[in-house]
Amino acid sequence: MPNPDHNRDKLLATCILGGVAAVGLTIYLARCHRRGSPSGRPVRVYMDGCFDMMHYGHCNALRQARALGDQLVVGVVSDAEIIANKGPPVTPLNERMIMVRAVKWVDEVIPDAPYAITEEFMRKLFDEYKIDFIIHGDDPCVLPDGTDAYALAKKAGRYKQIKRTEGVSSTDIVGRMLLCVRERSVSDVQNHSTLQRQFSTGRSPKFDDVVSDSRTKISQFLPTSRRIVQFSNEKSPGPDARVVYIDGAFDLFHAGHVETLRIARGLGDFLLVGIHTDQSVSAKRGVHRPIMSLHERSLSVLACRYVDEVIIGAPWEVSRDMITTFNISLVVHGTTAENTDFQKEQNNPYAVPISMGIFKVLESPLDITTTTLIRRIVANHEAYQKRNEKKAASEKKYYEGKTRTSYNCPYRTSMYSETHSFIV
Ligand SMILES: *[C@@H]1O[C@H](CO)[C@@H](O)[C@H](O)[C@H]1NC(C)=O
Ligand SMILES: *[C@@H]1O[C@H](CO)[C@@H](O)[C@H](O)[C@H]1NC(C)=O
């Protein structure tokens, strides 16, 4: 009779050996997977930008950059450098840092990056930050003196290019707000406070004229299922996961949203975010809202590292059915969310979770709302308009003789791009 203990030991030894072999194979495959680092260490790539009024186009660029290496280091240009090169940013460095850090493809962030990569900064990137490649979009990035901002990196043979995301730019977003202002300031000669009021209520008796005016150009974003998949985590909650639900418009996705999402995610294991439809946002906040469409807003939220899943077009009211379907343990609402009157409303959208004792109001750590951002732009609208026109003129000159598929530099320059698709 063979000793059963002996057999068991043999089996155990085989399992351990098998396990070691499997680990070895995994390590070997992981090495092969690393793209071209001779030392076997992870490939580190660098991308820089202003990331002012960060949108899903920036996020998509960061996603593509990350795919060219194993670790993505992002340089965020300082306020002073942006002011010197293109005028004041809408979002200051601290907000831009929160935004960039929150993007799920970003591994490290360098604050106060220079506007143009100098010889000295490039050395620092290579030696100190161990950067293998510097990444930028396939659009020319021209400095005020006419030189290429990435000339040095190209010369060093450490430059890689990605495709620019079509359909959006910060300037286009600023344009969406400025156009409304301009249309009305031409006819009514209104001051800023009345303009701000219109933005906050969204009510304009001339709205019909505004939309029919040929100058009201809104870039057309064509959402594809592929893009949504690229941005998704493709992960469902684990068996005992505590699902937290938060809903909102998430228009002009900003640092206030990010901080609220971070705290909400900390209250559970899986954060489900409900994005309200364009119709319900307009109904609650006025005809000029949302600035970004449902799909654009969904992509921005999906790119955030604290978010596990989104509902694209969530109902205004959190129903019992929804709570059961998604096994929601907690429903949260941020205090600086713009809809703070909900408790006074006849139909409190959170009546069901409140009655179930699973509703919580979150103290938002940052006092920023979508209205804050719009106000900053309206307050400075003349400066922004001048800056946009100046850039548009200089870029137009540059593009004369270039093909229509060339794009302006979305992460640095800011201008109206005639190469976008517009609907009138
Ligand atoms: C703006 O207009 C409102 C009324 O339309 C007026 O009360 C206010 O004083 C004006 N503000 C300035 C700065 O002109
Ligand atoms: C529902 O969520 C709870 C945690 O709140 C978890 O324990 C339970 O397993 C989940 N149920 C299902 C069916 O996933």
- pLDDT, tens digit, 9 for 90 and up, residues 201-258: 333 333 333 333 333 334 556 778 888 999 999 889 999 999 999 999 999 999 999 9
**Confidence band, pLDDT 50/70/90 cuts, at residue 12:** low
Percentage of residues of the chain with pLDDT beyond 70: 67
Closest-CA residue, ligand 2 atom 10, reads: 240
Say whether pLDDT at 142 is over 80. Answer: no
Burial class, 280, CB count within 10 angstroms (exposed 0-12 / middle 13-18 / buried 19+): middle
C-alpha 327 to ligand 2 mean position (Å): 6
Centre a 10 Å sphere on the Cβ of residue 200 and count the other Cβ atoms it contains.
Answer: 19
- CB 77 within 8 Å of CB 43: no
- pLDDT, tens digit, 9 for 90 and up, residues 169-191: 776 777 777 665 554 444 444 44
The third-level CATH classification (topology) of the domain covering 225-368 is Rossmann fold (3.40.50)
Q: Does the CB atom of residue 355 touch ligand 2 within 6 A?
A: no
C-alpha 356 to ligand 2 mean position (Å): 16
177 DSSP 8-state letter? H
Q: Which distant-in-sequence residues (6+ apart) come within 8 Å of 150 by Cβ? A: 117, 134, 136, 141, 159
Mean pLDDT over each residue of the chain, to the nearest integer: 77
Query: Does this chain's domain 44-162 share its CATH topology with 225-368?
Result: yes
**Confidence band, pLDDT 50/70/90 cuts, at residue 85:** confident
Q: Does the CB atom of residue 385 touch ligand 2 within 6 A?
A: no
Q: Does the CB atom of residue 242 touch ligand 2 within 6 A?
A: yes
Mutating to test ligand 2, I would choose from 236, 240, 325, 356 the residue with most ligand atoms within 8 A of its C-beta, which is 240
- pLDDT, tens digit, 9 for 90 and up, residues 252-291: 999 999 999 999 999 999 999 999 999 999 888 877 788 8
Among 76-80, 116-120, 272-276, 392-396, the range scoring the smallest mean pLDDT is 392-396
Which of the pair, 183 or 360, is modelled with greater confidence?
360
- pLDDT, tens digit, 9 for 90 and up, residues 24-58: 555 444 444 444 556 679 999 999 999 988 888 89
Q: How far apart are CA 275 and CA 295, in angstroms?
A: 9
At residue 235, the pLDDT reads 86
Q: How far apart are CA 361 and CA 330, in angstroms?
A: 11
At residue 200, the pLDDT reads 40
- CB 156 within 8 Å of CB 117: no
Q: Does the CB atom of residue 194 touch ligand 1 within 6 A?
A: yes
- CB 76 within 8 Å of CB 93: yes
At residue 323, the pLDDT reads 97
Mutating to test ligand 1, I would choose from 184, 185, 193, 197 the residue with most ligand atoms within 8 A of its C-beta, which is 193
Q: Does the CB atom of residue 189 touch ligand 1 within 6 A?
A: no
At residue 201, the pLDDT reads 37
Query: Domain segments of the chain: what residues?
Result: 44-162, 170-220+371-402, 225-368
How do beta strands 422-423 and 218-219 pair? Answer: antiparallel
Q: How far apart are CA 226 and CA 232, in angstroms?
A: 10
At residue 115, the pLDDT reads 87
Among 73-82, 125-134, 163-172, the range scoring the smallest mean pLDDT is 163-172
C-alpha 315 to ligand 2 mean position (Å): 22
**Confidence band, pLDDT 50/70/90 cuts, at residue 385:** low
335 DSSP 8-state letter? T
Ligand 1 atom nearest to 192, measured from its CA = 1
pTM of structure: 0.74
CATH number of 44-162: 3.40.50.620
Among 79-83, 164-168, 292-296, the range scoring the smallest mean pLDDT is 164-168
C-alpha 197 to ligand 1 mean position (Å): 11
Q: Which residue has the tokens 């899986």?
A: 270
Closest CA to 407 of 394, 419, 392: 419
Q: Does the CB atom of residue 191 touch ligand 1 within 6 A?
A: yes
Q: Does the CB atom of residue 197 touch ligand 1 within 6 A?
A: no
Mutating to test ligand 1, I would choose from 189, 190, 194, 195 the residue with most ligand atoms within 8 A of its C-beta, which is 194
How do beta strands 218-219 and 243-248 pair? Answer: unpaired
